[in-house]
Structure 1
C-alpha cells in the first residue's frame, strides 16, 4: 500500500529534524571526540604516565590541536608547551607510590599544553576564563593484570582533556569572545599536581586576571546518581558559579558524592587556594575501573560524553561574554595554607 503524506505531516516531520548546520556540527563534534580519545587513550601512548615520554607526546598532540585552531601560544619561547621541572626527591609519599608502578624510569620534568584565545571587548579582554584538564595518567604497570599492563586512563582523564580540546574548537570557530580564554592541559596531576603548580609559578596571564577556572575530569560515563544527561560540579555549594552556569544552559548539579571530597582532589584546588573560583566538572559515578587497567576506550559512553561536551558550550560561551563575575559564598573559599595531609594509604592496583 502506498503511503500518502499530507503537507502538514511533512512539515511536522521536518520540524523535528535537526537543522542541517546543527546536524553537521553534532557529527563534527562526535568525530573529533572519537579521534581525540582514540589517540589519547590508545595503547600506543602507554597510559600517558606522569613525567614520561608518553605524557610529553600527549602534550604535543594537544599543542598541535591548539596551533591548528590558530590560538595564541602561551608556553615557553613562543610555543604551546610549558616545561615544568619536577623534584623527585621532594615528591609526596603518594607520588612516590605512583612512581613505583612505572615500567620505565620517568624524566625530571613534566609538560603542560597552553594556549590563549584573546578577548575582543576593551572592557573585558583583561578578564580571563581558564578551561583545564590533566592529560597524564598512571602509565605502565610492572606486573600485568590479566595480561594487561597499560593504564589507558580513558575516563581519567582523556575524557576531560578531550572536553577542553573541543571547547577550544567551538570557541575558536565562533565569534571571538569578549573575555580572554586560556586553555591549559596539565601534566603530572597523578604525581601531585605538578603541572598545575608549575602553571601557577609561571602563568601566561596575571593570576589576578583569572575570573574563573573550570576543570574537566572524568566525563566519559554518566553518573547514575544524577539525572540522565547531567554533569556535576565539585564544591557546588561553595560559590555561585555552578548555579549561574545552570541558569545559562549547563546541565550542572551538585556533586552527589560529598564524602569523597572531590573538590580537594583535582587540579582546581591549587588555583582555588590562590583565591580563584576554581571548580571541577565531572560525572564520575565511582565506577570500579578508576585507576585500573580496565579504564579503556571500550568503557566510554561516547554518545553521553559527546552530548555532555555539547551541553557545556552555551554556558561557557555565556561566561566568556558576560561581565558577571563568580564569587565564593561565605565559608566556601578554601584555606590557602592548609595543614599537611596525613600519610597516604598504599596504592592498590
Structure 2
C-alpha cells in the first residue's frame, strides 16, 4: 500500500510538473528574433507613421494577440483601433523675402520646421548668445558650429518669434539633409499645429538677408492635404475579478519610415523592440493565466509624429480610464546603456510613483532614469495616460543610444540576448501585479498636472 501511495504521488507530481512550469513561461530568443525580423525587416520599410506599412505592422501584432488567446477589448469588435488623421505635405517650393531679396527653397533655403505655415514681420539680427536674445517677429541668428544652435532656437522661440532664420552650419546642413520636408500628421479632430517657423539659409544668402534687413515674409506655397488613418493594435486578456482593475502593457509600433532622401529608417530598437516585448508578454501572461486583473496589451501607431496613437486612445478608450490600475510602456530595449548596472533597464519618472520599485522588488530588471534632465517621462506614450491620472511609466534599455533616429537602427545593431532577458524579467513581476492586491500609486507631487 505504501509503495502504491508513493507511485501515485510520483505520478501526480509528474502530471503537475508541466502545469507548474507553465506558471513562469520562458521567453524564447528564437521567437523574439522572428518577430523583430518581420517588424524591422526590409518588407515594412520602417513602418512610417500613418502609412500602409504601419497598418501592416498593426495587423501583424493583432494576429499575434489572437494566436496568444487574447480577445478583442470591451466595446471593440476587433483588435484594431483606427484613428482618422489629416496628412499635410509641404509644397517644397517655399520662398522667403526680406526687403528686396527673395530666396526659393533649394540650395539657399531649407525648412527645418513649419514648412506649411506662413510667417511675416520685422527682422531682428540676434547675437549668438541665448542670454542676449532680443524680442522680434523674425529673428536672424548666426549660430556657432556644433550643437549650440538648440539653445539659441529655444531662446528665440521663448521670446515669441514667429520665424527664426539660421545661418547654415555643418551640423544644421546635416540635419536638413536627413530631414528634408516631412509630411506632417495630425488627428482629424485636432486643430492644425501652430509654432515657430524655422528655416536654414546658406551663408551667402543669410549675409545678404542680414544686410538687407526690413520686413520679412515666408510663403510656404500650396500644400497637399489628404485624409488617412493611424492604427493601434489592442488585445485583451480577461481577468477573474472585474472589480480588480486593468493592468496595461504597451509600446509604439511605428517609426520614421522612408526619409525624403529615400533612406529607410528601420526603427529596430525604436520601437520594434518594445512591440516585440508586448507580443511576447501577451503570450506569456496568457499562458500563465487566468489572472485576477484583466490585462490590456496595446501597440500604438503614429508615436513619431506627436504621440497620436496614445492621444487618440485616451480619448477613445476601450474601457473607462479609471479602471486602468497602471500602464507599463516599453520602448527601445534593444541594447543596454553602459551607464546602467548590467542587465538593467531604466524607468522614466521612477521616483514619481511606487510602481517601479514594486516591479523591481518582484524581480524586474529596472532602475531609476539616469537622465532626468532629458525629460523622457514626458516624451513617450505613457504620458497621455499619466496626464489622466493613471500611474504610467516607460522602461528603456538605452534611451540615448547612438543609433537613435539614424539609418543604423537596424536588426544587426540589436543585442537580442539582452532584449530577451529584459522581457523575461518582466514576466513574473507583471504576473504578480495581475494576481495580487497591490495597486501602484503616485508619490506626493509625482502625478503630472493636466495641461
* TM-score in terms of structure 2 length: 0.64
Structure ranking higher in strand proportion: 2
Q: What SS does structure 1 have at the residue aligned with 2:32?
A: helix
Does residue 294 of the first structure (1) align with residue 408 of the second (2)?
Answer: yes
Measured after TM superposition, the shift of residue 291 of structure 1 is 0.4
CA 1:153–1:256: 2 relative to 1, 3 Å:
same
- State the alpha-carbon separation in 2 of the partners of residues 306 and 79 from structure 1: 29
CA drift at 1:267: 0.5
Residue in 1 that maps onto 2:77: 78
Larger Rg: 2
Structure 1 counterpart of 2:373: 259
Is 1:173 aligned to residue 290 of structure 2? no
Equivalent pair of 1:75/1:113 in contact (CA under 8 Å): no
Distance 1:37 1:252 in 2: 22
Q: Specify whether residues 194 and 95 from structure 1 end up closer, same or farther in structure 2 by C-alpha distance, changes over 3 A only.
A: farther
Whether 1:114 aligns to 2:256 is: no
Deviation digits for residues 76-119 of structure 1 (CA, Å, limit 9, x no counterpart): 86110001012346xxx6898979346x9986210000011010
Q: Is the 8 A contact 1:269 1:279 kept in 2?
A: yes
Q: Check whether the contact 1:52–1:107 (CA below 8 A) recurs between aligned residues.
A: no
CA distance in 1 between partners of 2:310 and 2:335 (Å): 25
Is 1:207 the counterpart of 2:321? The answer is yes
Relative to 1, partners in 2 of residues 1:66 and 1:285: Cα closer, same or farther, differing over 3 Å?
closer
1:1-349 equivalences in 2 (<5 Å): 26=26, 29-74=28-73, 78-88=77-87, 100-101=181-182, 108-121=228-241, 123-124=243-244, 127-144=245-262, 149-337=263-451
Question: Aligned to 1:228, what secondary structure does the other structure show?
Answer: coil
Which one has a larger percent helix, Structure 1 or Structure 2? 1
Partner of 1:344: none
Contact 1:72-1:116 within 8 A present in 2 as well: yes
Q: Secondary structure of the residue that 1:143 maps to in structure 2? A: coil
**Residues 232 and 106 of structure 1, relative CA distance in 2, 3 Å threshold:** farther
Q: Deviations over 1:292-342 (max 9, x none)?
A: 1110000000111000100111111111111111111111111101xxxxx
State the alpha-carbon separation in 1 of the partners of residues 274 and 43 from structure 2: 19
Q: Distance in 2 between matches of 1:36 and 1:159?
A: 9
Q: Could you tell me how far apart the structure 2 residues matched to 1:324 and 1:197 are?
A: 27
2:332–2:398 Cα contact (<8 Å) kept: yes
Q: Could you list the runs of 4 or more consecutive aligned residues of structure 1 that deviate by over 3 angstroms after TM superposition?
A: 93-102, 104-107
**What is the TM-score with the length of structure 1 in the denominator?**
0.83
Counterparts of 1:88 and 1:254, CA distance in 2: 37
Q: Secondary structure at the match of 2:46?
A: helix
Q: Distance in 2 between matches of 1:188 and 1:285?
A: 19
Q: Secondary structure at the match of 1:214?
A: strand
Shift of 1:142: 2.0
1:212, 1:277 within 8 Å by CA — same for their partners in 2? yes
User: Post-superposition shift, 1:200?
Assistant: 1.1
Tell me: CA distance 1:95–1:138, structure 2 relative to 1, closer, same or farther (3 Å). farther
Unaligned runs of 5+ in 2: 1-17, 89-112, 117-175, 184-223
Structure 1: where are the runs of 5+ without partners? 1-18, 338-349
Note the C-alpha offset of 1:74: 2.6
CA-CA distance at 1:224 after TM superposition: 0.6
CA contact (8 A) 2:84 2:227 kept: no
Q: Is the contact between residue 75 and residue 81 of structure 1 (CA under 8 Å) also seen in structure 2?
A: no
In angstroms, what is the RMSD of aligned CA positions? 2.6
Alignment size in residue pairs: 308
Q: Determine if contact 1:101/1:140 at 8 Å carries over to the other structure.
A: no
